[in-house]
A = this chain, B = another copy of it.
Amino acid sequence: MTRTYQLTFLVGLKSGILDPAGQATRNVLQHMEYAVQDVRIGKWIRVAIQADNAEHALALGQEMGQRLLSNPVMESFEVTVKAL
């Protein structure tokens, strides 16, 4: 029997790759006089998925992350699982 799990992906540019959106945001925050040194921006993706158990869900998550949800040339991702 399967149940629903929630996978949360955090996808971001690999370190070392320029993040212009982060830089622009940092500049604006500095103009607003926040003592900000660095800003990085990425996306989160929350997926509700049917799976046999948490390990299975996580394995599916790894697969989806590699196949679709991140671009391996530029991005890295982490995925965590939670039962719903």
Number of copies: 2
Instruction: Report B-chain residues with C-beta under 8 Å of the C-beta of A10.
Output: 44
Whether A53 is near chain B, meaning CB under 8 Å from some CB there, is no
**Looking at the complex, which one of B34, B43, B50 makes contact with A42 (CB distance below 8 Å)?**
B43
Interface of A is mostly: strand
Interface size class of A (residues with CB under 8 A): 20 to 34
A43 to B54, CA, bound (A): 24
Q: Are B44 and A42 in contact (CB under 8 A)?
A: yes
Q: Is A79 an interface residue (CB 8 A)?
A: no
Binding site for B on A (CB under 8 A): 2, 4, 10, 12, 22, 25-26, 28-29, 32, 34-51, 60, 64, 67-69
